[in-house]
Amino acid sequence: MFTAPTREQLFVLKHVTDIDELAGHNRFADATPDMVQAIVEGAGEFAEKEFAPLNRIGDTVGARMKDGHVVMPDGYKAAWDAYVQNGWAGIAAPADFGGQGLPFSLATVSLESLGAANMALTLCPILSVGAVEAIAHHGSQEQKDLYLPKLASGEWTGTMNLTEPQAGSDVGALTATATPREDGGWNIKGQKIYITFGDHDMAENIVHLVLARTPDAPAGTRGISLFLVPKYRVNDDGSVGEDNHVQTVSIEHKLGINASPTCVLAYGESGDSIGYLIGPEHGGMRAMFTMMNNARLNVGLQGVQIGERATQLALAFAAERVQSARAGGESRDPIAILDHPDVRRMLLRMKAGTQAIRALLYYASGQVDRATLGDEDARALADLLTPLSKAYATDMGIEIASLGIQVHGGMGFVEETGAAQHYRDARIAPIYEGTNGIQAADLVGRKMSMNGGESMRGLLEMITAEVEDSAPLKQLAAATGRVMQWMQNDASIDDKLGGSVPFLTMYATLVSGWLMARQRSAAMQELGEGNDPFLKSKIAAADYYIAAMVPEATGLEGAAMAGEAPLYALTAAELAA
């Protein structure tokens, strides 16, 4: 059972994203309150009815290979068709190409509901949206006309091909090649691994975006170009033509997200795989970043998806499961475990953690929308919030899923309840789209020095000024400021990288805590003298997050500033001793 948290989503959209302000701009004028409500509720209902019932079979049966192609579990193609027909794919896609041109923030909410219902299946739209972004920003008019309408509608799906066996975090090490053809296209050759939805039977065509090297390209990331390589070649009239020889070699057997086929793809092995350059030659990384930035936020959103689903499951279980009398209580009758203090702690942590990362993600999405309106400060903020959102939210997703198992006791460890699947599914999110270690390195590297360090300082100062009344947030802001100053002024590169992950957690917790405080004020105001359970619950979750979880982040100051010396006290051989 999954119930989309539509009231919570609408509340966060209003008080954190400030969707009404966004709708005041001409470009987003269609995002009227009625439209926002219709989309949030409609996506939630669709996710509950069409995607959620397939989550279990996706895990147990999973995607399989048959005769060189990927076959999805029963029901997936029908669910995908319904997703396309109901117009859920193109919420934020450009209106010129059949999309609805609505804010990215609204697409975020719909993806949250779909992914909470079925995280593995919802990876397919995440990759497709990234492909739309890359082509819309960097493709030629002809490429846009030919590919965007079908991608925006979901009739075709997209993939992102960076990884090769020797090129994971180090994308610059990739060796796939592209050689020019006489017809203006390129022959793509090489093997890509771990390609999400690299093959499947839900859509008529798959549009692969592939990083490769042209002849004599410089070494490293500077020599990489981006190519569009369709599974089936596309005729001038947009119809699907011959096979383009993108061969699915195998799919991986994984810990989780079993309904998401993770493919090894071979290009140009069984015949020519014809590709088309997107953007300028050697401009691949820039184009890929366009695709990756929003995909990183959407992967962060997977933490929210799992957090929501795992919390709902744990709450329902804890209300039913009866064990032991209440310690110190008068009655010796056993009670529902929900009323034992430690179970309360776990449940509140799950609820507050989920709400905190949802707020972080929705805030970041709002900045992405404001950036598209030409607001340069918002663009800088979106850049800064991207690694924070991706890493913190996915780490939190795992913690919540793990607590979900703990709440279930032994029943959590057996597969029957579904709690175990959430944990297994959640585990990938800190790894792909740039590991969380890489996100932290990006934070203390590029993002910390962006605009001469002003973006990071500016956000911290704004938050510090607004959390004056909250001792835990004030202390975290001060500790985060001390680490930031040390990193900006005194630390060596190794010092910074060694402390990057704890620093990221501190900064992300601060932003999330600030947004929880903001929601608390709004909820207090709406509640007045009333007794609305949703508003009371919102206030309690914010209080718990700020009182119990924020100080943990403050305690990371030492870890963030421990420096490189303890990390390199041992040689590699001694480390293994």
Ligand X SMILES: Cc1cc2nc3c(=O)[nH]c(=O)nc-3n(C[C@H](O)[C@H](O)[C@H](O)COP(=O)(O)OP(=O)(O)OC[C@H]3O[C@@H](n4cnc5c(N)ncnc54)[C@H](O)[C@@H]3O)c2cc1C
Q: Is 433 a catalytic residue?
A: yes
- Closest to ligand X by CB, 113 vs 161, is 161
Q: Kindly state the smallest distance separating residue 434's Cβ from ligand X, in Å.
A: 6
Among 8, 50, 433, 557, the one annotated catalytic: 433
Instruction: Tell me, residue by residue from 183 to 222, as one string, x for binding to ligand X by CB under 6 A and - for no binding.
Output: -----------xxx--------------------------
Query: Which of 432, 486, 503, 514 touches ligand X (CB under 6 A)?
Result: 432
Q: Kindly state the smallest distance separating residue 192's Cβ from ligand X, in Å.
A: 7
3 — phi, psi (to 5°)? -120, 120
- Closest to ligand X by CB, 278 vs 407, is 278
What residues contact residue 66 under an 8 Å CB cut-off, 6+ apart?
none
Beta-strand pair 273-278/262-267:
unpaired
Which residue in this structure is represented by tokens 């009758």?
333
What type of residue is 159? Answer: T
Distance CA 496, CA 483 (A): 9
What type of residue is 405? Answer: I
- Closest to ligand X by CB, 274 vs 428, is 428
Determine which helix (DSSP H) or strand (DSSP E) holds 296, and give its type and residue range: helix 284-320
Does position 316 interact with ligand X (CB under 6 A)? The reply is no
> Would you give the end-to-end CA distance of the chain in angstroms?
49
Instruction: Tell me, residue by residue from 142 to 181, as one string, x for binding to ligand X by CB under 6 A and - for no binding.
Output: ------------------xxxx----xx------------
Distance CA 52, CA 1 (A): 8
Stretch in the footprint of ligand X (CB under 6 A) among 41-49, 212-220, 437-445, 517-525: 437-445
For residues 240 and 205, the answer to whether their CB atoms sit within 8 Å is yes
Does position 435 interact with ligand X (CB under 6 A)? The reply is yes
Q: Kindly state the smallest distance separating residue 61's Cβ from ligand X, in Å.
A: 17
Does position 431 interact with ligand X (CB under 6 A)? The reply is yes
Does position 287 interact with ligand X (CB under 6 A)? The reply is no
Q: Kindly state the smallest distance separating residue 381's Cβ from ligand X, in Å.
A: 25
- Closest to ligand X by CB, 157 vs 519, is 157
For residues 500 and 441, the answer to whether their CB atoms sit within 8 Å is yes
Q: Kindly state the smallest distance separating residue 14's Cβ from ligand X, in Å.
A: 34
What type of residue is 335? Answer: I
Distance CA 422, CA 403 (A): 11
- Closest to ligand X by CB, 82 vs 264, is 264
Distance of CA 545 to the CA centre of its chain: 22
For residues 331 and 325, the answer to whether their CB atoms sit within 8 Å is yes
Does position 428 interact with ligand X (CB under 6 A)? The reply is yes
Q: Kindly state the smallest distance separating residue 362's Cβ from ligand X, in Å.
A: 25
Q: Which of 185, 136, 190, 180 is nearest to 158 (CA)?
A: 136
- Closest to ligand X by CB, 251 vs 483, is 251
Distance CA 459, CA 299 (A): 23
- Closest to ligand X by CB, 32 vs 175, is 175
Q: Which of 464, 125, 154, 452 is nearest to 295 (CA)?
A: 125
Q: Kindly state the smallest distance separating residue 311's Cβ from ligand X, in Å.
A: 24
Name the residues annotated as catalytic: 433
Instruction: Name the site residues for ligand X (rule: CB under 6 A).
Output: 160-163, 168-169, 194-196, 254, 262, 428, 431-432, 434-435, 437-438, 441
